[in-house]
Structure formats: C-alpha cells, structure tokens
A and B are shown apart, each in its own frame.
Chain A
Amino acid sequence: MTVKQPRSTSWELSVRQRLLAGDESALSEIYDQYSSFVFGLAARVTNDRRAAEDVTQEVFVTVWERPAVFDPERGSLRSWLGTLAHRRAVDFVRREEASRRRAQREAELAALPPDIEELATALALAERVRVAVDELPPDQQAAIRLAYFGGKTYRQVADVLGIPEGTAKSRLRMGLRRMADTLEREGVDQWR
C-alpha cells in the first residue's frame, strides 16, 4: 500500500515556527481559522455546549503550550486539531451521561448563526467528506458514526449493533481505509 502524505503548506510551517518562538498572533490566526471546526466537532460529539467550549479551549491552549507536538510530516494542522478535539470530546462523553439533555441542547446548537466565510469552507469540505461517508457500505457507516460521533468504544459498537467484537473492529478499519481512499482521490487534503 502506498501512503500519500499530505504536503504541509508554507503557512502551516511558518505558523508552527511562530508558535515555537512564542508569537501570540500565530495562536489567534489558528484560532480564527479552525475554531468553528473544533467547536462544531466537539459540540456534535459531546452534545453539550459548555463541554464543547471547554474542549475548544483545551485544544487551542495545547497548541500554544506544546506546538512541537504538531508533526507536519504526519498530517495537516487541521487533522492534528481534529484528533486533539475528538480525543477530549470522547473523554467527556465517557465521563458524563450527556445523553439526558441531548434533545434540549441540539435545539440550542441549531439556532447558532453561522459565520459566512467559515461556512463556505465548511460546506465545501463537508460536501466532500459527506460523499466519502455516503460511499461506505451501510454497515461500515453505522459503525463509524457510532464510534466517532457517539463516542462509543468498539465493544459498545458491537453491543449496539449486535455483532461480534471482531466484526466491529474490522468494520471500523475497513470503513476508515475506504474513506481515506476516497478523500485522497478527491484531493481533500489540498483543502486543509
């Protein structure tokens, strides 16, 4: 299997340099570029506005405190931020029983006014990612959605879907592989 590494943009490299040098404006630039992505992801997984704010804060503070951890050779800045945010959001889900107030909070989120430029990017990206998800066989799709957005472990996924654990593991892996193929074919990493 050939692995195509996304090329880092000069912006990503220079912003990392500036973070390392302690240049505060680099952090605000990253925040402005990616806060909707991070907050939206965290809000979707946690279903809790306060928790999503905490996750967002933690993610950007980590960026500031430990910029050297971002390795441009291994993925884009967006991907690193997404990983940090998802990890924290999942931790929250596993700590709390957030589902109780789910309905009420979903209504809250739906009422938020969108930022136009950010929305344009988000729509452009979301469209491509949605294609990649929609192309998955339904059983893989269901498993990935439960794990990623539901914050469930593969054992819980197996439980919910009534399938053996081994099958859950392989659906997650095959589904992600297939998504990676589609996204690479679509050139999504160009969009960062």
Chain B
Amino acid sequence: MILDHEEANELLGAWALHACDEDEGALVEAHVATCDDCAAEADRLRNAAAWLGALESVPPPSRLRASVLRRARDLRAPEMRRATPAPATPATLMAESVDRLDTLLRHLAPADWAAVTLTGFTVQDFVAHLTAAASLINWRLGLLAEDPGRGITDWEPRTDVFLGRHRGLPPAATLAAWREQVAVLQSFVTGAGVLDQSIEWQGWDTPLQDVVTIHGFETWLHTDDIRRAVDRPIAAPSPPHLAIMCELATNLLSVAMRAHGVNRRTRLVLTGPGGGDWLIPLGGSEIGPPDAIVTADAVAFCTLVGGRLTPDVLPHRVEGDAGLARALLDTATSFAVV
C-alpha cells in the first residue's frame, strides 16, 4: 500500500508526534522520502514537537551518568580518551572564548539579558558590543557585502550604533546577530596562512593574528563580566590560550613603555599555567640585572590588562625600583577600552 500526497500530508502532525500506528508511520516515511514539500514540513513539525519535551525538565539520578557512559563504552570502544588538542593559535583562542560565551548565553533566562554588569552595560549590550567588534574585523577583511556598523570604525560611536539597534530587540535577535558575525570571522581565520596579513585596527596597521587574539581576549573578559552579573562562577582561559594572551599583552606593554620613553627594564614574571617570564621593554641589548622584578598571577595580570583590576588591588610582588614597577602596571591598565 502507498499513501498519496494528500493522505501522507494529513498524517504529518500525527507522525511528528509518534501518534501513527506502526505501519502507517512507515508509509508516511516512505512518502516523505520522495516528496520535498512533505520532507520540509515533516522536519518543521518534528522540531516543534521536540520542544514540547522542554516543558518537563527533571535531572536524572546522578548514578545514571556513570552507567550510561559504561554501557556506551561496552558497545563502542572510545578511540581515545580525549581528542588530541589542536595546537593553540589565536584562532583556537577566539573559538574557545566564543564557544564558552555561546554556552553561557544559551543557559540564560530571558530576564538575565537585562542584568547590569559592573561597566553599566547590560548583558544584551555586551553581546551587541561584541557584534560591533566582530563585524568591524569582518568588514576590514572584506568579508561583508555591507557593514552593519554603517562604516563607522571608531570604537565608541560604532558600539553606539549597535546598542541603539539592539536595545528593545528580543535577546534572540541579538544572539543571532552575534553568532552570524563570529561564524563569518571564525570560518575565515581557520583558513591556512590567513593570520599573517595585516589590517587597519584602531588606527594601526595590525597583524590579523593580534586582532584575533584581542577579540578572543575581549570575548573572555566580557564573558566574565556577564558571569558576574548573573551570579555564575568566572572561568579563566585554558593555559595554552592564556599563554597567547600573555604574549600579546607583554608585547603591547613593551611598545607602550618604549613610547613613554622608559628604557630601564622590568622583569615580569607571570605565574600559574600559561604564564611565563619577560623582560620589558623586550629586545634591549644591555645585559645585566633588571631594574625591577614584578611577579603576579597570569590570569590576574590579564584581568588587569583588561581593565577589570587596578594595580592597587592586583596581588603582586615587587623587587627593586618600585616606581618603575608601578609605571609598568599603570601602563598595562591603559589598553582597556570597555
């Protein structure tokens, strides 16, 4: 027996709800396999039906987790305990930050989107702000037919364009706009060799890898801003990515200290996984002991660079010239914009 289009189409609702008899369900599926219109509607109705399950969320008993994993392992042996981690790059740093923010946003209740962060921005504002940043990179790279920021490249007015557009829109629209821009950027930066080019960034000709690192850095920082606003625990980047952030921060710090005419050298020791040891300014030719040594935790230092801590409250240790050490920390806080 075969169902004609009308008969099968009438049954799609029942089919999506698993409310056909066994045989009838199979007949519907046979028709759907040959009919594009019915296939599209079948997917749509089945997706709608699956949402009904969201009405009843109940955590299973905790012992079930181990039993499910054990059963799964029995039936198909894992190839490896963990996928071999890809080498950390600015692109994977950004991907990690973006994924974590995406996960956090998916877990927010609607009211959370209006929660106000320490900076005065709401959660939704921050997502709009990150969309402003990501779309600017995309625009500079020529990846967009039209700039959603209307060609405004200065930081604050550009952010204002996005805030103006998104305040009053449903959070889902803001989330979708952000996802769209980061998806464009991510698919571009994972291409081979693309990170070596430079683009104009805040008035400077900047290597794309630094721009991408800064965007990953900023995304992490704002994710923590949002976590604080909605009472979730903050989380540090993974150590290999933290190392990339520290490398960039110390580079910028070198350039800035030189620009301030500081030639005496500070040894900066950043502790914890992802940390390291730098002489700032970098590349000085003089050999000899540094004039000051500053020791701090790598995550805390990046938080300082992001403008979320001041030198006064950063836990750190200074040996040698206290004035020089202070100048270094003050300079480190001067990069933050929002």
Contacts and interface: CB of A to CB of B under 8 A. Distances in A.
The reply to whether chain A is a binding partner of chain B is yes
Interface of A: 1, 3, 5-7, 9-11, 18, 21-28, 31-32, 35-41, 43-44, 52-53, 56-57, 60-61, 64-65, 74-76, 78-83, 85-87, 90, 109, 112-115, 117-127, 129-130, 132-133, 144, 147-149, 151-155, 157, 166, 168-177, 179-180, 183, 186-192
Contact of A10 (B44, B59, B170, B183): B183
What 8 A-B pairs are tightest by C-beta distance, nearest first?
A: A22-B79, A173-B13, A187-B172, A82-B50, A122-B57, A41-B53, A172-B13, A40-B58
B48 A183 contact: yes
A111 to B, nearest CB: 11
B82 A25 contact: yes
B107 A23 contact: no
Given A23-B79, A120-B109, A7 B179 contact: yes
B54 A37 contact: yes
A168 B21 CA distance: 14
Find the residue from B20, B175, B232 having the highest chain A CB count within 10 A: B20
B123 to A, nearest CB: 13
16 contacts: A25-B83, A40-B56, A43-B56, A44-B53, A44-B55, A57-B67, A57-B68, A79-B46, A82-B54, A83-B50, A114-B59, A120-B108, A121-B106, A169-B13, A189-B47, A192-B106
Contacts of B16: 172, 176
B36 to A, nearest CB: 10
> Which interface class (under 10, 10 to 19, 20 to 34, 35 or more) fits B?
35 or more
A56 B58 CA distance: 12
Contacts of A80: 50
Given A7-B179, A24-B72, A147-B19, 20 more contacts: A3-B40, A9-B179, A18-B83, A22-B76, A22-B80, A27-B72, A28-B69, A37-B54, A41-B56, A56-B60, A57-B64, A78-B50, A82-B50, A120-B109, A129-B52, A133-B52, A175-B13, A183-B51, A186-B170, A190-B175
Contacts of A3: 40-41, 43-44
B52 to A, nearest CB: 5
Given A61-B71, A85-B53, A188-B51, A36 B58 contact: yes
A73 B261 CA distance: 57
B119 interface: no
